[in-house]
A and B are shown apart, each in its own frame.
Chain A
Amino acid sequence: MIPAGSPRPAILWGGGLLLLLASSIFSLSVGAVWLSPGEVLRWLFTPDEPMGIVVRELRLPRTVLALLVGAGLGLTGAALQGYTRNPLADSGLLGINAGAALGAVLILYTGLTVPAWKTSLVPLGGLGGAIATTFLITFLAGRVQSIQTLILAGVAVSALAGALTSLVLNFSTNPFAAQEIIFWLLGSVTDRGWDVLFLAFPLMLGGAFLLLSSGRSLQLLALGEDTATTMGVSPQRLRWRLISGSALLVGPATAIAGAIGFIGLVVPHLLRPLVGYDPAKLLPASMLGGALLLLWADLLVRLIPIDQELKLGVVTALLGAPFFFALIFRLRRSYA
């Protein structure tokens, strides 16, 4: 427990936000042409020149999207780990990512669209897939809905959604569509426009609100389900809030950026000691940490000099796997 009046949270938050600002400016500077911070500022307000178009229409939405998706994944991971009291919980474990990916892939495959809309329905497809997954998990987990059955239901739904996504790819007769889907599934925030961001942002904001407002309940839940119930926490209502919030955050995020894993798993683990293992404080901290981690991963994508675009989901997986090796060795040492 951090003593009252300790400057540490202020320093941590101040430092984190400063790092976020610096990383964002760096993200706007990096690309085919390197810009200084001053030049970034100049081109931000000169939209008619090609470089201005590059900064405002390409680099800025890319940076914002990386921050938004990272924040959403980090927050979801922290919330689900707090609820399930399982360090391996995140939206991927509960099948929400796989459901969102399936929803988006179905829209891509069928070409479903609203003629009056210029923007693709993919973000809504992702949300639809995430919501459908939510209902399915809840149905499978049954009335009792213990945490173990919830996790098992999530694993089963994740496997089903993954199989159905592969089936869609299997049936794709158009090799270009199949290639696009495969590359999209690897995860990327490259060349996305403001239109998809504007579509996704309100949904993700709603999801963030649902999860952030669950902080107090998660704190009480850490004392045990029975104790939490006696102190006024309704486990069913909390479960609905968390799963709905996760669907609203993860659905559109996955639909726009593809399957990006490990952020929701790794970030809460890294930040938990810094917030005194408080599940409520971990929520906003994981938002900040998730945003930073995904932005840095995207910077790596742009800085590593290879001809083919390195996909964001590949980078996060390559970063996340060693983390789990380290976790395993630490656990083995503690058991020994």
Chain B
Amino acid sequence: MPAFFRSLTCLCLLGLIWPTLAPLIVSGAPQRIVSINLASDELLLELVDFQRIAAVSRIVQDRELSRLADQAASLQGTDGSLEHLIRLQPDLVLVSTFTRPRTLQILDRLGVPVVQVPPAESLAEARENVLLVARALDLEQLGYDLVEEMDRIIAAVTTRRDSSPPNRSALILGPGFAVYGNQTIWGDILAALGFVSHADALGIKDWGRIDLETLILNPPDILIRLNYHRSSPTLGSQAMEHRALNLLRDDIILVDFPLALTLTANHLTAQTIRELDEAIRAATTKQSSTYDPRR
């Protein structure tokens, strides 16, 4: 075939496939993304097509720990071990700031780009993380859209709350009687819901544990119990469903909320705020004190 026609054929073929290839070649967007951090797992599932996800952490596939477990079920799960990461041949790895330094060292030596997503202790930091991950995935505009959606949901809750009684105190009680204060994301969540954090009254600014006696003698107006494994009792749920607490039902509003909906601070925190608002309203009107939007 004369050289002219060969060149023309190549050009035509290139013209056919260029619209598909161009965004990938020009932007260098990662195609084999691995995430080993629950917060970035959930962001990843929201932002990219599954074909671009090489693996997510096994935690996001656990229904007791993540609200996106069903969506993540079809993906490859990883325990984050170095060997498995290397075998996955990622071109981007999303990790937390608690990832082992050795893992980061080896990935760096192999030339694998790594993005460290710090834990968010406020809604502002949660928004920053959304944009951080979106930029790493070359989807910045989608990140801004997500942040806008977050703000819209929170604004709707804030507008609704104006009709509720003011200055009510609320306490978040996690497994093992863990209590979360204003210096965690819960500070912003409770503020968005219109509550004063009762952890302050207990002298807990960040994170701590309390005993049942302290809780009973100094109860909040609203007690939000975070629970996992609702299908059967656990040590933690038994203690949190202690008769002593249930005897206070006339004095405080008890709300049971799935732990899985609260473990990460990212774009889904806005949904958590909305769901908590619904749960508290239902408990206040005595419709139900156990809330799980996944049912």
**Chain A interface residues (CB < 8 Å from chain B):** 31-33, 50-51, 53-54, 57-59, 108, 111-113, 118-120, 122, 173-174, 176-177, 179-181, 183-184, 190-191, 193-196, 307-309
Q: Are B175 and A32 in contact (CB under 8 A)?
A: no
Report which of A32, A108, A112, A195 forms a contact with B235, defined as CB distance below 8 A. A108
Q: Are B228 and A176 in contact (CB under 8 A)?
A: yes
Please provide the 3 A-B residue pairs with the shortest distance between their CB atoms, ordered closest to farther. Answer: A111-B232, A57-B244, A113-B232
Q: Which A residues lie within 8 Å of B64 (CB)? A: 174
Q: Are A180 and B234 in contact (CB under 8 A)?
A: yes
Report which of A119, A176, A196 forms a contact with B236, defined as CB distance below 8 A. A176
Q: Are A54 and B176 in contact (CB under 8 A)?
A: no
How many B residues have CB within 8 A of the partner chain?
33
Q: What residue of chain A has the Cβ atom nearest to residue B62's Cβ?
A: A173
Q: Which A residues lie within 8 Å of B247 (CB)? A: 53, 57
Q: A281 to chain B: closest CB distance in Å?
A: 38
Q: Which A residues lie within 8 Å of B235 (CB)? A: 108, 120, 122, 180-181, 184
Known: A57-B242, A191-B177, A193-B244. 4 other contacts (CB 8 A): A58-B242, A111-B234, A173-B58, A193-B243
Report which of B212, B228, B229 forms a contact with A191, defined as CB distance below 8 A. B212
Q: Which of B213-266 contact A (CB under 8 A)?
A: 213-214, 216-217, 219, 228-229, 231-236, 238-239, 242-244, 247-248, 259
Q: Are A57 and B62 in contact (CB under 8 A)?
A: no
Q: A106 to chain B: closest CB distance in Å?
A: 13
Q: Which of B58-73 contact A (CB under 8 A)?
A: 58-59, 62, 64-65
Complex: how many Å from CA A310 to CA B116? 35
Complex: how many Å from CA A112 to CA B229? 11
Q: Determine whether B211 belongs to the interface, using a CB cutoff of 8 Å to chain A.
A: yes
Q: Which A residues lie within 8 Å of B59 (CB)? A: 173
Q: What residue of chain B has the Cβ atom nearest to residue A113's Cβ?
A: B232
Complex: how many Å from CA A51 to CA B219? 12
Known pairs A53-B244, A111-B229; A177 contacts B234 (CB<8 A)? yes
Complex: how many Å from CA A309 to CA B219? 20
Q: Are B176 and A179 in contact (CB under 8 A)?
A: yes
Q: Are A108 and B234 in contact (CB under 8 A)?
A: yes
Q: Determine whether B293 belongs to the interface, using a CB cutoff of 8 Å to chain A.
A: no
Q: Are B259 and A51 in contact (CB under 8 A)?
A: no
Known pairs A57-B244, A190-B211; A50 contacts B231 (CB<8 A)? no
Q: What residue of chain B has the Cβ atom nearest to residue A183's Cβ?
A: B176
Complex: how many Å from CA A194 to CA B235? 15
Complex: how many Å from CA A307 to CA B59? 30
The winner among B208, B211, B234, B248 for most chain A CB atoms within 10 A is B234
Complex: how many Å from CA A179 to CA B231? 19
Q: Determine whether B152 belongs to the interface, using a CB cutoff of 8 Å to chain A.
A: no
Q: Are B213 and A31 in contact (CB under 8 A)?
A: yes
Complex: how many Å from CA A195 to CA B238? 10
Q: Which B residues lie within 8 Å of A180 (CB)? A: 175-176, 234-236
Complex: how many Å from CA A190 to CA B236? 12
B161-179 Cβ-contact flags toward A at 8 Å (1 or 0): 0000000000000011100
Complex: how many Å from CA A32 to CA B217? 8
Q: Are B236 and A193 in contact (CB under 8 A)?
A: no
Complex: how many Å from CA A9 to CA B234? 45
Q: Are A309 and B233 in contact (CB under 8 A)?
A: no
Q: A277 to chain B: closest CB distance in Å?
A: 41
Q: B67 to chain A: closest CB distance in Å?
A: 15
Complex: how many Å from CA A174 to CA B237? 15
Q: A77 to chain B: closest CB distance in Å?
A: 26
Q: Which B residues lie within 8 Å of A32 (CB)? A: 211, 213-214, 217
Q: Which A residues lie within 8 Å of B243 (CB)? A: 57, 193-195
Q: Determine whether B209 belongs to the interface, using a CB cutoff of 8 Å to chain A.
A: yes
Q: B46 to chain A: closest CB distance in Å?
A: 23
Complex: how many Å from CA A307 to CA B204? 11
Q: Which B residues lie within 8 Å of A112 (CB)? A: 232
Complex: how many Å from CA A245 to CA B233? 28
Q: Which B residues lie within 8 Å of A54 (CB)? A: 213, 216-217, 244
Report which of A31, A120, A177, A308 forms a contact with B209, defined as CB distance below 8 A. A308
Q: B243 to chain A: closest CB distance in Å?
A: 5
Q: Are B228 and A193 in contact (CB under 8 A)?
A: no
Q: Which B residues lie within 8 Å of A113 (CB)? A: 231-233
Known pairs A50-B248, A53-B248; A307 contacts B239 (CB<8 A)? no
Known pairs A50-B216, A108-B235; A176 contacts B175 (CB<8 A)? yes
Complex: how many Å from CA A177 to CA B177? 13
Complex: how many Å from CA A59 to CA B242? 13
Q: Are B216 and A193 in contact (CB under 8 A)?
A: no
Complex: how many Å from CA A184 to CA B234? 11
Q: B202 to chain A: closest CB distance in Å?
A: 11
Q: Which B residues lie within 8 Å of A58 (CB)? A: 212-213, 216, 242, 244
Complex: how many Å from CA A170 to CA B244? 34
Complex: how many Å from CA A272 to CA B219? 48
Complex: how many Å from CA A307 to CA B175? 17
Q: Which A residues lie within 8 Å of B211 (CB)? A: 32, 190-191, 309
B181-214 Cβ-contact flags toward A at 8 Å (1 or 0): 0000000000000000000000000001101111
